[in-house]
């Protein structure tokens, strides 16, 4: 980890604490990694805090997600648990409201609407044109709900519903903690670690989510370009 932090510092010009947190995030996750630099968090600049937040939302820790989720839940005070419930509950209320809108076919959801909005970005990843709506809708589900729900929906698709290249791109684009619920967890955990920067962390929350989403899409784009799939 120390070596990875040194490499990050040399390659990207980031400070030691940022290098340690970003390199550790690959192994630990978005909540545990900043704990390694907790004494330095109040001293970080706004841009350094933003890097840490984007990094946390754009990767999945190497540990099993179930174990990581249990650790996060055990460490979160009740106030932060309530914050997560509010975020997820708000999404549920929005979906309930959208369900009453007259619409042919399946009920409209926040994930469906986000999928429509994300279609141009999906096109930029190199996804075949015939799969843009399906991939965009699943990415919208991931942002509105979480990656587990989105992966489950992807696995439930009929065989052949997506072209192989689309499936490859989608698999990597879904692979991060970048969703609304994770923003709540990240805001709560960082606010507990550095109360001096609560306002800054809250302000950067959804900006970090947008940047993390683009980061995972960029990763998926590169994998699509490197693959031999048409």
pLDDT-above-90 percentage for the chain: 43
- pLDDT of 193 higher than 60: yes
**In which band, very low, low, confident or very high, does the pLDDT at 202 lie, cut at 50, 70 and 90?**
very high
pLDDT of 76 reads: 43
Please state the domain extents for the chain: 65-230
Helix axes 46-57, 198-226, angle to 10 degrees: 50
Interval 174-186 mean pLDDT: 89
Interval 27-53 mean pLDDT: 91
Q: Annotate the chain with three-state secondary structure.
A: CHHHHHHHHHHHCCCHHHHHHHHHHCCCCCCHHHHCCHHHHHHCCHHHHHHHHHHHHCCCCCCCHHHHHHHHHHHCCHHHHHHHHHHHHHHHHHHHHHHCCCCCCCCCCHHHHHHHHHHHHHHHCCCCHHHHHHHHHHHHHHHHCCHHHHHHHHHCCCCCCCCHHHHHHHHHHCCCCCCHHHHHHHHHHHHHHCHHHHHHHHHHHHHHHHHHHHHHHHHHHHHHHHCCCC
Residue whose C-alpha is closest to residue 121's, from 39, 178, 66: 178
**Which of these ranges, 27-41, 71-85, 139-153, 173-187, has the smallest mean pLDDT?**
71-85
pLDDT of 113 reads: 84
Rounded to the nearest integer, the mean pLDDT of the chain is 83
pTM: 0.79
pLDDT of 85 reads: 61
**In which band, very low, low, confident or very high, does the pLDDT at 222 lie, cut at 50, 70 and 90?**
very high
Interval 47-72 mean pLDDT: 72
Q: Are 51 and 20 in contact (CB under 8 A)?
A: no
Residue whose C-alpha is closest to residue 162's, from 153, 214, 227: 153
Q: For 102-133, write each residue's pLDDT tens digit.
A: 777 767 777 778 778 889 999 999 999 999 98
Interval 160-183 mean pLDDT: 90
């Amino acid at each position: 980890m120390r070596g990875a932090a040194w490499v990050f510092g040399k390659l990207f010009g980031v400070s030691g604490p940022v290098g340690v947190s970003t390199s550790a995030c690959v192994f630990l996750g978005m909540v545990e990694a900043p704990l390694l630099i907790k004494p330095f968090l109040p001293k970080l600049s706004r841009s350094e805090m933003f890097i840490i937040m984007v990094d946390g939302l754009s990767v999945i820790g190497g540990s099993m997600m179930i174990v990581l989720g249990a650790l996060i839940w055990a460490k979160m005070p009740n106030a932060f648990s309530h914050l997560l419930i509010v975020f997820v509950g708000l999404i549920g209320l929005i979906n309930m409201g959208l369900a009453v809108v007259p619409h042919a076919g399946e009920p409209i959801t926040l994930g469906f609407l986000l999928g429509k909005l994300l279609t141009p970005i999906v096109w930029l990843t190199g996804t075949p044109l015939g799969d843009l709506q399906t991939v965009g809708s699943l990415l919208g589900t991931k942002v509105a709900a979480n990656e587990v729900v989105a992966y489950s929906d992807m696995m439930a698709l009929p065989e052949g519903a997506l072209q192989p290249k689309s499936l490859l791109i989608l698999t990597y684009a879904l692979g991060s903690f970048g969703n609304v619920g994770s923003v709540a967890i990240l805001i709560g955990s960082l606010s507990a670690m550095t109360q001096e920067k609560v306002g800054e962390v809250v302000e950067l929350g959804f900006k970090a989510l947008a940047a993390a989403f683009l980061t995972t899409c960029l990763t998926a784009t590169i994998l699509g370009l490197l693959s031999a799939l048409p």
